[in-house]
Amino acid sequence: MSVPLIVTIVVALFVLTVVLKSIKVIPQAQSAVIERLGRFRTVAEPGLNFLVPFFDRIRARIDLREQVVSFPPQPVITQDNLTVSIDTVVYFQVTDSRAAVYEIANYIIAVEQLTTTTLRNVVGGMSLEETLTSRDHINGQLRGVLDEETGRWGIRVARVELKAIDPPPSIQDSMEKQMRADREKRAIILTAEGQREAAIKTAEGQKQSQILYAEGAKQATIMAAEADRQSRILKAQGERAAQFLQAQGQAKAIEKVFAAIKAGRPTPEVLAYQYLQTLPEMARGDANKVWMIPTDFGKALEGFARQFGIKSDDGVFRYEAPTEPAATTSASDDDVEDWFDTSTDPKIAEAVRAAEAVARKEVDAPLVPPVPPVPPVPSLRAPEPTPAPTPQQPDVERTVAITPPPRPDLR
């Protein structure tokens, strides 16, 4: 190989090395700290950057993105002398590459140690219960202290989170027992409250049912009494009307018999014959053993015939009907028309409707309901319903007076 060729190759390699050392490409979201002859010169921004070969060099490359660092559990003593292990997570971002390189040797270790000391300082002034329930307060205090202290390092702390707070096992057992006791206590309280409410509801239901039962019994008694009263009244009216009709029928029958007897003009012989036919019927009873026939029986019949008969041409007394009809006194049908009226008294019907309305009325059932006033039920006994004015009604045992015809003077 000739000397010129070797020189050419060496010059080409030198030029290539110079070019490579003078051109640097920085990726996005990164920066580079450039030193010249060991002294800070500038911070290279993302993109194409030119350096002086053999004089400038890159001291460090800094990631400008937000970084997440999870630190191992740290033992921390609380105010009530209990040791708890706390895991922390720090979110930070480098804002000044020069300060992050020249102001602190290792900013990640510095943030970890500062977080640990600040956490112990904050949690040391709090009890275990406050520590477990004040995560946001602890996070805010840690972030404020770290952001203030790391500002001169070119770092901005965005957020600090407590990932886990682990009490000692004995404390965890005690807390579990306490929580179990609290849950059992709440369960017992809720059960007692439920039983109390159920008892109150049951008592209220029984009270309402007894009120309704009493109201129903009251209305049933009133209606039963009214029905019995109406039944007795109607029965008495029916018996009175039946007796009146029976008396009227008997009066009509007697009147017909007397009219037939008078129309037949019986002789004393016929009357004697009828009397003799009646004697066996009178003697048929078990208690009648001996019958005495009076000797003056014929004279009695003769006297009876003389009183009611007229002696005819053949010497026989015969009954002559009077020329004028016999005046009979009977009760007018108009006087007893209301005996057969079975309609209910309007006042009684109105009282029954009021009682039924009260019985059907719904009773509200609140927790402690006021007793609703019971509407007054009109009395069904006093005053007695006043009947319509009618003529004087005859008694049930009214006797129909039948006036016999005037007897003729036979003397």
Each residue's pLDDT, cut to its tens digit, for the chain (411 residues) gives: 678 888 888 888 888 888 888 888 888 988 999 988 888 888 888 888 888 888 888 888 999 999 999 888 888 888 888 888 898 899 999 999 999 999 888 888 998 899 889 898 988 888 888 888 888 888 888 888 888 888 888 999 888 888 888 888 888 888 888 889 999 999 999 999 999 999 999 999 999 999 998 988 888 898 888 888 888 888 888 888 888 888 888 888 888 887 887 777 666 667 677 767 776 776 666 655 565 555 555 566 566 556 556 666 666 555 555 554 444 444 455 555 665 565 666 776 777 777 777 667 665 544 444 444 544 444 434 444 444 444 444 443 333 333 344 444 433
Using DSSP's 3-state secondary structure scheme, residue 77 falls into strand
Using DSSP's 3-state secondary structure scheme, residue 234 falls into helix
What stretches of 265-361 show up as alpha helix (H) in DSSP?
268-282, 297-308, 346-360
CA atoms of 42 and 62, how far apart (whole Å): 13
Sheet of 67-77: strand order equals 67-77, 83-94, 155-166
Q: Which residues pair with 60 in a beta bridge?
A: 33
CA atoms of 59 and 51, how far apart (whole Å): 13
Cis omega before residue 383 (within 30°)? yes
Helix H or strand E segment including 14 = helix 3-22
CA distances from 176 to 114, 132, 170, 173, 179 (A): 33, 14, 10, 5, 5
What stretches of 91-134 show up as alpha helix (H) in DSSP?
97-102, 107-123, 128-133
Question: How close are the terminal C-alpha atoms of the chain, in Å?
Answer: 212
pLDDT computed for residue 320 by the predictor: 56
Other C-beta atoms closer than 10 Å to the C-beta of 131 total 25
Domain boundaries, the chain: 3-63, 67-167
Domain covering 67-167 in this structure, CATH number: 3.30.479.30
Using DSSP's 3-state secondary structure scheme, residue 51 falls into coil
Using DSSP's 3-state secondary structure scheme, residue 242 falls into helix
pLDDT computed for residue 149 by the predictor: 87
Domain covering 3-63 in this structure, CATH number: 2.30.30
Give me the sign of the Cα torsion angle 64, 66, 68, 71.
positive
CA atoms of 166 and 170, how far apart (whole Å): 11
- Nearest Cα residue to 170 out of 80, 74, 84: 84
CA atoms of 77 and 261, how far apart (whole Å): 140
pLDDT computed for residue 390 by the predictor: 43
Per the confidence metrics, is the pTM higher than 0.85?
A: no
CA atoms of 143 and 81, how far apart (whole Å): 25
Do the beta carbons of residue 298 and residue 381 sit within 8 Å?
no
Give me the sign of the Cα torsion angle 191, 192, 198, 199.
positive
Do the beta carbons of residue 30 and residue 62 sit within 8 Å?
yes
pLDDT computed for residue 127 by the predictor: 87
Supply the angle between the helices 135-149 and 107-123 in degrees, to the nearest 10. Answer: 140
